[in-house]
Structure 1
Amino acid sequence: MAKVDNASEEGISKSVLYLMSAGAGLVVANNYYNQPLLNLIAKDFGVSESAVSNIPLFTQLGYAFGLLFIIPLGDKFPRKKMVMIDFIFIIASLLVMALAPSLPVLTISGFFVGFSCVVPQVFVPMAAQLAKPEKRGSAIGIVMSGLLIGILGSRFVSGFVGEYLGWRVMYYIAAGMMLVLWGLLKLKLPELQPDFTGTYKELMQSLWDYFKTESSVRLAALRGALGFAGFSAFWTTLVFLMEDNFSYGSGIAGTFGILGIAGALAASLIGKLSDTMNKNLLIIIATLVMILAWAVFEFSGYSIIGLVIGVILVDMGLQSLHITNQNIIFSRNPDARNRINTIYMVGYFIGGALGTTTGAYAWELFQWRGVASLGLIYSVLILVFHLLFRKPMPDEN
């Protein structure tokens, strides 16, 4: 426990914080390389668009299961050792994806990529724990900035790699990057000793206890789930929109990820604001930005400019919502941040899986207008639930 307290008093060094940020981005990118590649994979295996959409669906479900069963261990076992072991499974899963002989094998290996690529959700509570209390939001924002840049940049990279080298090459490259990152983290990542001394069964039971007693965590998870549902619906169907309405390939679809990085770069600013500004107000503003984004998408089925504006807005809105949610939940229960983060992120990625599935069906039934309407509904629901169930923050007094 002394290690943790001293680390918090000293703060976290910039080099370690930015390594964690870069690591979060590179690891989480593995979950999203598949989205601009869906058309290429569908053609390779001779399957439909809805069938190949099972790959991102199972990847996100795997991530949710990894969050549920792996991340709580960060409160029981030394964090660095846990990360180093997890990387072995990340690399193995990526290599299986690269070698997959059929769509079922690719889909199942996608699940295990998601299941093992939960390292970023170890880094976020680590940053919150290592940072000084008055800089917690800023530290979370920096790590989350790297994470979202990884999500968005992955689509740009995989879109072009897939178009010019083939979709399998992307997964060989990803496995190589993970090996290099493993070495850097082995050298630089600090070790944090756990706070929880009970059994694994007691650890998992405590998740339910926190879920029942912490209404702020439940509400944050619901807000995050709805926001990420719309976000996932957009990115799952964008590649189909590009091909059907604009006759563009996976490379152009991936380029939209670069535009979204503008939203990710705002993360450190949002983190600082969430340390000083009223958090309930920040959530309302972020949600209104997402509603505006989806309203723009409604009229952008044949407009590249409209899509560009919408991508920037939806990424900024979601990032602001996400960081503010995490600052709220990490300010409570400092000895259980990994378990609190597990509850929040499981809800978040269940929302992503819901968005992937409903987005694919919305596209098949109503094309782009259906996807945009779906995202708008999800965003309006965030605002409704927040206004109904929010509680006053300490900075409102």
Structure 2
Amino acid sequence: MSENPAVPNLRPNDLLTFVMAVACGLAVANIYYAQPLLDTLARDFDISRGTAGIIITMTQLGYAAGLMLLVPLGDLLERRRLITVITGVTVLSLIGMALAPTGSLFILAALVTGITAVVAQILVPFAAHMASDAERGRVVGRVMTGLLLGILLARVVSGSIADLLGWRTVYWIAAGIMLFQALALRQLLPEEPPQSRMPYGRLLLSVLALMREEALLRRRILYGALGFASFSAFWTTIPFLLAQAPYHYPDSVIGLFGLLGVAGALCANLAGSLHDKGYSRIGTGLFQALIGLSFGLMAILPHHLTAIIVGIIVLDLGVQGNQILNQSAIYQIRPEARSRITTAYMTCYFLGGAAGSAGAAYLFQFAGWTGACTLGIALGGTGVLFWLTEPRGQVAGALQKSD
């Protein structure tokens, strides 16, 4: 396997990898602070639970829009400057969420926050691009561990702060963190020459060409979209379950359930190692099966806290392990187009998440927790059925083609 000749002096050391992992986590956390607060936001803005669920859907749709329109610029522009500018806009959108007087304006600001949170998906291929072929899975795993911990801890932090200081304080603090991050990344990230001189319009169209030409990318897109749809379906509806009988938990306690997903985040390094050792296909099937099994357990025992706890751990193991294997595989395809590959994959990933959030919120409103879990079982089962059709050696074939 060849080294990456384009970036011989930009190999990420452990410190830089850590910085990028933290930055990814903090950036993507911005779109998850609202999840444990949905019941509170519904009451404060006097909107229905179904409408409150749209807050998560809109941040994910915004994220998908940012992936389509902003992430490809990582191949066209100098990445350090691009990351700094986008993070600066995130500061403004978070201030807008903190000040929003109505639910509609809050949702609008959440949409912008979702768009700009894609800076995390510029950092991930940046790290992958700097790594050698032999260590790419490990580097992607470490950076993604930071990103996943950001997603999980966001719920814990926002729920605790909201109970102590009010939900608006959550967004004031987040805005301050993003301002500091923009300044820090400007100083710490290396400069990197653009990877493409293609005009912006052609750059966007080339994303579609990549999807058409790369079978491995299409397959991993479907795995990812199904997995994140199930993940979003769960985290959009679990606050409603835990806020009602027999639990009656406040925001701070609901947010603490995010800590249970740390097992899934720590699984990132294990999944990266599975990929590097050639066990990507087997791991994918296992992680897909765990998704459906987790929802089955929680559907059968919705009022047993132990079942909910075990279900969360198993769900996060399945979703996050699947995600690391997906990204480690697709970054082997075309080194010169990693930002555009990220655009193709993550746009569909978050469109899947948005569909999962909206579908689960709707089903919960009319069929309760059973309806939401039925959706999760169907998504996990579909992933397993599709995995059974996967050709053996597809990832290895992609790697040989990229050498």
Shorter-chain TM-score range = over 0.9
* Cα distance per residue 1:326-352 (max 9 Å; x no partner): 111110111000001100000100010
Quick one: which amino acid aligns to residue 309 of structure 2? V
Shift of 1:261: 1.0
Assess if the C-alpha contact under 8 Å between 1:10 and 1:132 holds in 2: no
Shift of 1:319: 0.9
Equivalence for 1:305? 306
Shift of 1:5: 2.9
Equivalence for 1:254? 255
* Cα distance per residue 1:307-332 (max 9 Å; x no partner): 11111111111111111111111101
Equivalence for 2:148? 148
Equivalence for 1:39? 39
Q: Give the TM-score of the pair, scaled to structure 2.
A: 0.95
Rounded Cα–Cα distance in structure 2 between residues aligned with 1:146 and 1:375 = 25
Q: Give the TM-score of the pair, scaled to structure 1.
A: 0.96
Equivalence for 2:338? 337
Shift of 1:286: 0.8
Equivalence for 1:126? 126
Equivalence for 1:286? 287
Quick one: which amino acid aligns to residue 251 of structure 1? S
**Matching of residues 119-198 of structure 1 within 5 Å:** 119-198=119-198
* Cα distance per residue 1:148-194 (max 9 Å; x no partner): 11001000111111122111110000001111111221111112211
Q: Are residues 177 and 213 of structure 1, via their aligned partners in 2, closer, same or farther at CA, if it must alter by over 3 Å? A: same
Equivalence for 1:380? 381
Shift of 1:253: 1.1
Q: Which moved more, 1:133-142 or 1:44-53?
A: 44-53
Rounded Cα–Cα distance in structure 2 between residues aligned with 1:237 and 1:8 = 47
Matched position secondary structure for 2:339: helix
Q: Which moved more, 1:385-394 or 1:335-344?
A: 385-394
Matched position secondary structure for 1:209: helix
Q: Which moved more, 1:166-175 or 1:247-256?
A: 247-256
* Cα distance per residue 1:74-99 (max 9 Å; x no partner): 11001101001111110000000000
* Unaligned ranges ≥5, structure 2: none
Shift of 1:386: 2.2
Matched position secondary structure for 2:44: helix
Q: Are residues 27 and 10 of structure 1, via their aligned partners in 2, closer, same or farther at CA, if it must alter by over 3 Å? A: closer
Assess if the C-alpha contact under 8 Å between 1:8 and 1:132 holds in 2: no
Assess if the C-alpha contact under 8 Å between 1:8 and 1:129 holds in 2: no
Shift of 1:251: 1.2
Shift of 1:394: 5.4
**Matching of residues 1-397 of structure 1 within 5 Å:** 5=5, 7-8=7-8, 11-245=11-245, 246-390=247-391, 392-393=393-394, 395=396
* Unaligned ranges ≥5, structure 1: none
Rounded Cα–Cα distance in structure 2 between residues aligned with 1:193 and 1:395 = 29
Rounded Cα–Cα distance in structure 2 between residues aligned with 1:65 and 1:10 = 29
Shift of 1:140: 0.5
Matched position secondary structure for 2:388: helix
Assess if the C-alpha contact under 8 Å between 2:74 and 2:82 holds in 1: yes
Assess if the C-alpha contact under 8 Å between 1:278 and 1:393 holds in 2: no
Q: Are residues 395 and 329 of structure 1, via their aligned partners in 2, closer, same or farther at CA, if it must alter by over 3 Å? A: closer
Counting aligned pairs with the same residue, the percent is 37
Rounded Cα–Cα distance in structure 1 between residues aligned with 2:6 and 2:213 = 29
Shift of 1:389: 4.5
Rounded Cα–Cα distance in structure 2 between residues aligned with 1:88 and 1:129 = 24
Shift of 1:6: 6.2
Assess if the C-alpha contact under 8 Å between 1:149 and 1:264 holds in 2: yes
Quick one: which amino acid aligns to residue 128 of structure 2? A
Shift of 1:276: 0.7
Shift of 1:7: 3.6
* Cα distance per residue 1:275-302 (max 9 Å; x no partner): 1132111110111222221221112310
Aligned residue pairs total 394
Q: Are residues 142 and 87 of structure 1, via their aligned partners in 2, closer, same or farther at CA, if it must alter by over 3 Å? A: same
Shift of 1:390: 4.2
Matched position secondary structure for 2:72: helix
Rounded Cα–Cα distance in structure 2 between residues aligned with 1:200 and 1:73 = 8
* Cα distance per residue 1:89-146 (max 9 Å; x no partner): 1000000000001111001110000001101101111111111210100100001111
Matched position secondary structure for 1:185: helix
Shift of 1:8: 4.6
Rounded Cα–Cα distance in structure 1 between residues aligned with 2:53 and 2:292 = 25
Rounded Cα–Cα distance in structure 2 between residues aligned with 1:10 and 1:111 = 34
In angstroms, what is the RMSD of aligned CA positions? 1.5
Shift of 1:9: 6.9
Shift of 1:358: 0.6
Assess if the C-alpha contact under 8 Å between 2:10 and 2:190 holds in 1: no
Rounded Cα–Cα distance in structure 1 between residues aligned with 2:327 and 2:284 = 11
Matched position secondary structure for 1:53: helix
